Structure 1
Amino acid sequence: MKHVVINGCQIWVEDTGDTAKPAILFSHSLFFDHTMFHHQRDELAGDYRVVAYDHRGQGKSSPAERAEQSMDHLTEDAAALIKALNLAPCHVIGNSMGGFIALRLAARYPELIASAVPINSSGEEEHKKADFAPLVESMAANGTDPLIDTLMYIMFGDTFLADPGRTEEKDHWRRKMLNLPKSIADSAHQVVFRQSILHELKDCRVPVFAIAGDEDHAYGPKESENIATASGGKYHVVGKAGHSASIEQYKNINNLILNHIKGII
């Protein structure tokens, strides 16, 4: 693991696997960090160069002002990171907010990526501003503690939350979210008040494969279908998966990623 300095920020990067092999870049969800993809790293790093990073203002990357955490800023960071690490053309896998970045890279930097795989994501502006905006204000004032049950419900599906065999995992992510600083509200604000990217995907030159969880409480199969329609790509719905499908149903997600990459000529 290391920091890579790009666009005036120190970006925390985990770079695993043979640098001579095809690269996959993983971009994480709001409230999480690069570690949400450890299941993908463990399985895929044998055949691919697997790179996961923390967005500016989150994880172990540099703090950033709210205005500098827009989806446009984060997209420029991702593009600069791809260039700095010589990853191009790489496959970009993004969960939720990471999917917003993957889609913007597909639209704006097709020369840098081989494909985009947004998981539990959306290409549209936020449809739940009325629900999510008060949560952002609460986080800014009081942190995540008063909202932790709501955050767990948003970030995970019913099957995962009810599974007694995965209590340790649930406790891990619950603690991670409880330990987030109040500044996470700045990142959340930019997620809630993002702009649509669908219109930019009309002439998309790279394959797009959107994955949805059927138990996602934030963005469902319809958002993934809309991404596929706008980009000329494909979408798939994973059963018993919520907003963090790459954790909840990681075996299915890994298989979908592998089949997608192998199917690209």
Structure 2
Amino acid sequence: MHCITLLLAVATTTVFGNVIVPPSTWNYPYPWPVQYQNLTSQRLNLSMAYMDVSPNTTSYYTNKTIVLLHGKNFCGATWEDTARRLSTNGYRVIIPDQIGFCKSSKPPSYQFSLQQLAYNTYSLLQSLGIRQAHVLGHSMGGMLATRFALMYPNVTSHLILTNPLGLEDWKALGVPWRPIDLLYKDELATNYTSIRKYQQATYYVNTWKSEYDVWVNMSVSLYRLPGENTTFAWNMALMTDAILTQPIVYELELVKAKTLLLIGMKDSTAIGKAWSPPAVQAKLGKYDVLGKEAAKRIPDAELAEFDDLGHSPQVQNSERYHQALFEWLGRSS
């Protein structure tokens, strides 16, 4: 029934929407072949890039699928380490680039919302014949994974959140709304120095290793992409507005999936913190508190905390992060 509905929706929409937005020309190397799911969304014909990594061993987890959702400052390629470990343990791993990001189409005009991205991801899984999956998201991807689980509880068997955004309502805490034109101006000013400074302060707790540079340079290359850099910057400005105005904190009690929160407690990430008054800044992004509060509110949740790690614990200390992940998967699957 779902397949028929989707086909009819595409056929109907295509009559009115004939603007084709091709996949990105961005040629950053990915660890596995990139495939594309064509979809018609908001009167645009778009292409959603993804990697489909087959399990490379027979194990307890065989026949299970996991979807990895990237954050705003990330791409599918940043999940390589996690995906290899999951594949080795028998998981099929689906790694999409969301519309507007990385190798996917970058529409010049699009209403970004967590609901829209969740629907796009659901459509991808439907096209691949995947009826149920674990969903793991980091940062914005954790926020998106939660929205996906709320919208598609029968598809989401397990939910894994790594320092997700949206665990607090930044607007209600005093963050002033920032016009999208100014957010766009901020994005256009992005460079290696600004990205590294931000990541060093929040992702890695004021430490730096040379291997982190690969992800900084990956992000920088998107802002310098000939013919697409301004569209990408515009998409990122729209996405920032969507994240700021669509918190998940009010719906945590409605999550039905078994849930694991993996929280770097030194994280201080908060959308809008940079342009907020000092008194507001002081209240935001306290993940040593936010993780515990979320774990109490999600009905079937467990919490794994890393007291010395920041926003990207899966990068900063891969071994400890994945040990906690696989220990929980072994007990909960």
Contact 2:169 2:249 survives alignment (8 Å) = no
Q: Which residue of 2 aligns with 1:263?
A: 331
Matches within 5 A, 1:42-81: 42-46=84-88, 47-65=90-108, 67-81=110-124
Contact 2:167 2:294 survives alignment (8 Å) = yes
Q: Which runs of 5+ in 1 are unaligned?
A: none
Contact 2:313 2:321 survives alignment (8 Å) = yes
Match 1:254 to one of 301, 309, 322 = 322
Q: Which runs of 5+ in 2 are unaligned?
A: 1-33, 57-61, 224-228, 270-284
1:103-141 per-position Cα deviation (integer Å, ceiling 9, x unaligned) = 112222110011111101143333687499598354244
Q: Which residue of 2 aligns with 1:186?
A: 238
Change (3 A) 1:28 1:185: same
How many residues are matched?
259
SS at match of 1:45: helix
Name the Cα RMSD after superposition: 2.6
Change (3 A) 1:215 1:45: same
Q: Which residue of 2 aligns with 1:195?
A: 246
Matches within 5 A, 1:236-255: 236-255=304-323
Does residue 223 of the first structure (1) align with residue 290 of the second (2)? yes
What TM-score results when the alignment is normalised by the length of structure 1?
0.86
Q: Report the Cα distance in structure 2 between the residues aligned to 1:48 and 1:4, rounded to whole angstroms.
A: 21
Measured after TM superposition, the shift of residue 23 of structure 1 is 0.5
Q: Report the Cα distance in structure 1 between the residues aligned to 2:95 and 2:170, rounded to whole angstroms.
A: 25
SS at match of 1:69: coil
Match 1:2 to one of 26, 31, 35 = 35
Q: Which residue of 1 aligns with 2:194?
A: 147
What TM-score results when the alignment is normalised by the length of structure 2?
0.70
SS at match of 1:202: helix
The code of the aligned residue for 1:153 comes to Q
Q: Which has more radius of gyration?
A: 2
Change (3 A) 1:126 1:42: same
% identity of equivalent residues = 19
Q: Which has the higher contact order (CA 8 A, sep 6+)?
A: 1
The code of the aligned residue for 2:323 comes to N
1:62-113 per-position Cα deviation (integer Å, ceiling 9, x unaligned) = 1135652211111111222222222331111100100011111222211001
Match 1:162 to one of 195, 207, 215 = 207
Q: Which residue of 2 aligns with 1:92?
A: 135
Q: Which residue of 1 aligns with 2:265?
A: 214
